[in-house]
Structure 1
C-alpha cells in the first residue's frame, strides 16, 4: 500500500498566543496581580490629599533668650609679702575662713616642718582622700593639684599653725605667721580663693565701659607657679562678698521687653542651675544693659568672668500645637438649668418635648456631651433670669434647631436656636478625625500654647492633624 502522509493541522497564530497565556505558571500570575495593586496604590497616593500629623508636646511657647553676662564682684589681688618659693595651701574656687592658711613661702623649694597629728585628724584626712578618690574624673586632672593644696592647708590647720611673729597686710585681707622655714600667709577675712587675675578686680558696675564686654580682648593670667616669686608679686585673688552682679548687653527690643521687670529668673548654662536676681536696666556708653544683682550662688561661678545665661521669661507652659491645626466648630448653647440626670444611667442630658400623632406631649431624654460651660454674658437673647446662668455647649448633631427642652425643676421651656463657637483641633489617635476642644493661653506666629486641663481636650503625645483645613470631622484617614 502506498504510504499516505497526513499533514498535521498547524494551529493558527492567535491560538498560539492564547495557549501561551494559559500556560503561564501561578507565580507569574501572582506577580502580575501584585504589580497592578502596587501601581493602583501609587496612583491613589499621588492623587489623594496628603494629611500630615503632629504629636502634641508640652513646654513653653518658645525658647528663652540667651545672653552673655559679665560678672562683677568684690575682689582684690593679694601680693607676696616676701620672696622665695611658694607652696599653696588653699583649694582654688573654695571658700576659706578668716585665719585660714592660703600659701607659704620659703627660701628653698624644700620645706622643713614637723607636725604630729591626732588620730582624729588622720581619720579626717583619710576620709577626705577617700571622698576625692570616689569622685575623681580623669578628664579634670587639674583638680588633683587643688585637692593637694587643700589637704596641705588642712594639715596646717590641724597642727594649729602659730608663730611668734605675726603681721597683717595693708588692706587687712592677709595675715602672716612663720612655721618651720616657711612664712605662712593667712586670710584675714572670709572669702573665695582664686589663683588667677584678669584686670577686672576692683571694677564696679558703675565704672564699666563698652570695651569691657569684648571677650576677644579678654585675658586671664594664671598666678600658680613653681618658680621663685618676688616681694610684691601677685599671688592670688580673694573674693570677699557673696553679693555679685551680672551685666548683659541688650538690644532696644530686648530692653523694651524687659523694661517692667524688677526680678528675673536666671538659668546658668554652665550647670543648668537657676536662681532669681534683682533686675534693672542701666546705660553704659549710650547703650542699654541689664543688671542682675544676686546675693548667693557666687561660689559656683567664681572662676568665670563671662557666663552664658538664659533669662526665664516665657513662663506660660502647656500643650504646644501648630496654628494650622486649629479649627472652629459650632455648638448649640443651652442654659445649664435645663440639664438633668437620667436616673437609670446617671448620664447627663436634656429632656426634649415633642408631640405624638395624637397631639399629646412626649418627653424624650437625650444624652449629649457637654464640651464647655461658660458664664452667659447676656448677649444670647435669653431672659434676665436665664442670662445669669451658665451656658452648656452641646454637639449640634444631638439636637435640631427648634427643639423644645423642658426643665425638670420648674417645667419652663427653652427652644434650641442659639449657637456658640469653640476652638479645637482634630485628634486622629484612632485613625479618624475627632474634634477636641482647646483653650489658648498664648501664641506666636506659628504655635499656640493650650491648657492641659480642658474638658474633652488634648493630652500630651496625642496625634492631631497639622493641616486641619484639608480634613472634615469624623473623616477616616487611615
Structure 2
C-alpha cells in the first residue's frame, strides 16, 4: 500500500471538566444573587430601650413681677459700691458712697494696699466661665451680654468687699463736700440692673408685654461720673413674686380646672409646684403663678422660659413605630399546669387515635399575658377547635376565643420575638411603657424600630 492511499484521522482531545471552576462559578452566582436580594429588600433598624421621662411640649414665656424700686443718687459724683449683687441689706446699711472728685478709689487703695482675689474668688470666676462655655448656644446669643454683665458684677463685688473694711475710717476723715456715704432707707435685696419695668403690674401685662424686641436691660454699676438723680441701684423689698405666663388656648383649657401646676424653669432646671389661676385678656391667654421663695435665683431676670409639666410619665421609652398588635387564643387559667418531668408551663391537649382512643399530650406554651380568668397563648401553639383538659377536675375546654395584645418585637437573641407592653403615656413619636412586666420589656432590650417590617421568629443577623 502506497503512502498516498493512507487516510489520516485527527485526534480529538477528551473534554476535561474542571470541578473547581464549576464550584467557584456556582458559589459566585449564589453570592451575587444574595447580594442583589439583600440590597433590594427593606432592612430592619434596631432601637435600644432606655428609661426616660417624656412630656408634651408645653413651653411658654413668662414675665416676672416683683415689689422693687430704683434708687437714684442724691448728688453727682463717682460711685463706689459695698454690697454684693443679690445681697440682703438692713435698713440704714451702707450701700454705696459718692465721691465728687473721683479720688476715693485711690484713697481706699492707699489705705488697704493692693487688692488681691483669693483662690476661692478665682475658682468661682473660672466655674462661671466654664458653665457659660458648656451651656452656650448660637441660637441664644443674648446670653453673652447676660454673662458679661454677671461677670462684671462678680468682679466688682470682690474688689469692693475690701474697700468696705476701710469705709468707716475714710468717712471720719472725709470732707463733707467731697465724699458722701449713702445708706439704705429700707431693708431688701440689692440688684444692679434696671429695665424700666419695675412698676409693671398684673393689670398692665398684655400680649405686647411679651414682645421683647425693644427690651433693654441696663447695668447700673459704672465707674463713670453720674449726674444727680441718676439710678444707682435697685432694691427688691419683698421675696414674694409673681410669674405671668403667656399660654396657648390648649394650655389654657388644660389649666382651667387646676389649682396648681408643676413646672420647670429652663434656665437652671428647677422644678417646682405653684398655685395657678388662668384668665383671658383680649386675644391672649395667661396664667398667673405665685411664689414665696426662689426669687433670688431669678433676680436678674425679667423674662423666663418655663415648661409646664401637664402630661408626663416615667418608664421605658420606645418609638410609636415599634408598636404592633398580635392575636392570641384565650385559655382558662386553671387549665395551665407544669409538665410531668419538667418545670415548663403548658396545657394538656386531648386528642383521639385512629382507633378512637382518647390520648393526652402536654403542650408547653408561654403565657404572654393573663387576666383574672384567662391566659393568652400563641396561635402557633394551639388552633381553634383544640380541646384542652383540666388535670385536676377532668373538665375540658374548646379553644375558640381570641384577643389582641399590643407589643413590640424583641431581637436580643438575633430573631424576632413578640413582647407585650403596657402603655403609661404616649405622644406623636414616643411611648412610655411599664418596665419588667410579665413577658414584657426591660431597659437596654433591643427591639425592631419599624414593626411592619418584622417577621416573627425570623433571623435578622
TM above 0.5, yes or no, is yes
Q: 1:213 to 1:179 in 2, by over 3 A?
A: farther
On the 8 A contact 1:59/1:317 being kept in 2, the answer is yes
Q: 1:61 to 1:88 in 2, by over 3 A?
A: closer
Pick one of 110, 122, 139 that aligns with 1:133.
122
| Counterpart in the other structure of 2:331 | 334
On the 8 A contact 1:101/1:153 being kept in 2, the answer is no
| Counterpart in the other structure of 2:389 | 405
Pick one of 392, 397, 406 that aligns with 1:423.
406
Pick one of 58, 71, 77 that aligns with 1:65.
58
On the 8 A contact 1:98/1:190 being kept in 2, the answer is yes
On the 8 A contact 1:331/1:422 being kept in 2, the answer is yes
Distance 2:202 2:268 in 1: 25
Matches within 5 A, 1:14-53: 39-53=32-46
Superposition RMSD in Å: 4.0
Distance 1:254 1:200 in 2: 26
Q: 1:199 to 1:262 in 2, by over 3 A?
A: same
Q: Report the 3-state secondary structure (helix = DSSP H, G, I; strand = E; otherwise coil) of the residue aligned with 1:237.
A: strand
Pick one of 378, 385, 406 that aligns with 1:395.
378
On the 8 A contact 1:90/1:146 being kept in 2, the answer is no
| Counterpart in the other structure of 2:420 | 437
On the 8 A contact 2:66/2:236 being kept in 1, the answer is yes
Matches within 5 A, 1:213-228: 213-228=210-225
| Counterpart in the other structure of 1:89 | 82
Q: Report the 3-state secondary structure (helix = DSSP H, G, I; strand = E; otherwise coil) of the residue aligned with 2:221.
A: coil
**Worse overlay, 358-367 or 61-70:** 358-367
| Counterpart in the other structure of 1:306 | 303
Q: Report the 3-state secondary structure (helix = DSSP H, G, I; strand = E; otherwise coil) of the residue aligned with 2:458.
A: coil
| Counterpart in the other structure of 2:97 | 104
| Counterpart in the other structure of 1:291 | 288
Q: 1:115 to 1:276 in 2, by over 3 A?
A: farther
**Worse overlay, 104-113 or 236-245:** 104-113
Matched, 1:475 2:458: yes
| Counterpart in the other structure of 1:79 | 72
Q: Report the 3-state secondary structure (helix = DSSP H, G, I; strand = E; otherwise coil) of the residue aligned with 2:239.
A: strand
Distance 1:196 1:67 in 2: 24
Deviations 1:380-403 (A, max 9, x none): xxxxxxxxxx32222333334332
Matched, 1:318 2:321: no
Deviations 1:178-229 (A, max 9, x none): 5543433333444322222111112221232433222012122222222333
Distance 2:334 2:22 in 1: 68
Distance 1:144 1:47 in 2: 63
On the 8 A contact 1:51/1:465 being kept in 2, the answer is yes
- Residue 423 of structure 1 and its aligned partner are, at CA, apart by 1.5
Q: 1:288 to 1:435 in 2, by over 3 A?
A: same
Structure 1: gaps (5+ residues): 1-8, 118-124, 164-177, 376-389
- Residue 96 of structure 1 and its aligned partner are, at CA, apart by 3.6
Distance 1:449 1:317 in 2: 7
> If the length of structure 2 is used for normalisation, what is the TM-score?
0.77
| Counterpart in the other structure of 2:371 | 374
- Residue 325 of structure 1 and its aligned partner are, at CA, apart by 2.9
Matched, 1:253 2:250: yes
Matches within 5 A, 1:206-217: 206-217=203-214
- Residue 89 of structure 1 and its aligned partner are, at CA, apart by 0.7
**Worse overlay, 325-334 or 303-312:** 325-334
On the 8 A contact 1:86/1:104 being kept in 2, the answer is yes
- Residue 406 of structure 1 and its aligned partner are, at CA, apart by 1.3
Deviations 1:36-73 (A, max 9, x none): 56643432124434444434344355552322221111
Q: 1:223 to 1:11 in 2, by over 3 A?
A: farther
Matches within 5 A, 1:168-247: 180-181=173-174, 182-247=179-244
- Residue 437 of structure 1 and its aligned partner are, at CA, apart by 0.9
Distance 2:334 2:319 in 1: 37
Q: 1:291 to 1:432 in 2, by over 3 A?
A: same
Distance 2:184 2:24 in 1: 89
Distance 1:232 1:151 in 2: 25
Distance 1:319 1:394 in 2: 25
Q: Report the 3-state secondary structure (helix = DSSP H, G, I; strand = E; otherwise coil) of the residue aligned with 2:389.
A: strand
Q: Report the 3-state secondary structure (helix = DSSP H, G, I; strand = E; otherwise coil) of the residue aligned with 2:118.
A: helix
Q: Report the 3-state secondary structure (helix = DSSP H, G, I; strand = E; otherwise coil) of the residue aligned with 1:370.
A: coil
Q: Report the 3-state secondary structure (helix = DSSP H, G, I; strand = E; otherwise coil) of the residue aligned with 2:250.
A: helix
**Worse overlay, 366-375 or 193-202:** 366-375
Distance 2:125 2:222 in 1: 24
**Worse overlay, 296-305 or 271-280:** 271-280
Deviations 1:263-289 (A, max 9, x none): 222222222222222222123444212
Q: 1:34 to 1:411 in 2, by over 3 A?
A: closer
Distance 1:352 1:445 in 2: 44
| Counterpart in the other structure of 1:5 | none
Deviations 1:342-378 (A, max 9, x none): 5764443444455678877655544322211213xxx
